[in-house]
Amino acid sequence: VQLQASGGGLVQAGGSLRLSCAASGSIFGIGIMSWYRQAPGKQRDLVATITKTGNTNYVGSLKGRFTISRDNAKNTVYLHLNNLKPEDTAVYYCNMEIALSTWDRYREHWGQGTQVTVSS
């Protein structure tokens, strides 16, 4: 199983980006999908989660600026970043709970990360 994240880049403050993360391989099912971020010199922190049925949860004040969504048919999770601020600069990682077969338990898989840089 591979998770391929994309969509990061350099944007000015106030701008927007849409991050995508697609899972590929032999997948039986995907549970919770999440986005994390890690700023330079800091730990990796949870940004948002979304369940298979579309229930979302955001950390802190990010709700309202960030929106997580998913396309179950495409095994893909998205993160819309709006009104970006310099403090949003970080590597953004996707995370998915994936089962490879009927008998397999759901295990966490990570994408490789995509860099978001917000200039002031």
The pLDDT mean for the chain works out to 96
State the pLDDT confidence band at 105, using cuts at 50, 70 and 90: very high
Mean pLDDT is lowest, of 25-29, 30-34, 57-61, 68-72, for 57-61
State the pLDDT confidence band at 61, using cuts at 50, 70 and 90: confident
Q: What is the pLDDT of residues 2-54, one digit of tens each?
A: 999 999 999 999 999 999 999 999 999 999 999 999 999 999 999 999 999 99
Query: How much is the pLDDT for 9?
Result: 97
> For residue 115, what are the CA distances in angstroms to 3, 10, 18, 39, 96?
15, 8, 12, 10, 19
| Chain CA centroid to CA 18, Å | 10
Contact 77, 96 (CB under 8 A): yes
Q: Which residue has the tokens 């077969």?
A: 101
Distance CA 33, CA 70 (A): 8
Query: How much is the pLDDT for 63?
Result: 85
Q: Considering the chain, what percentage of its residues have pLDDT values greater than 90?
A: 92
Task: Tell me which amino acid residue 1 is.
Answer: V
Contact 81, 116 (CB under 8 A): yes
Contact 17, 10 (CB under 8 A): no
Query: How much is the pLDDT for 60?
Result: 83
Q: For residue 60, give the 3-state DSSP assignment.
A: helix
Distance CA 66, CA 112 (A): 20
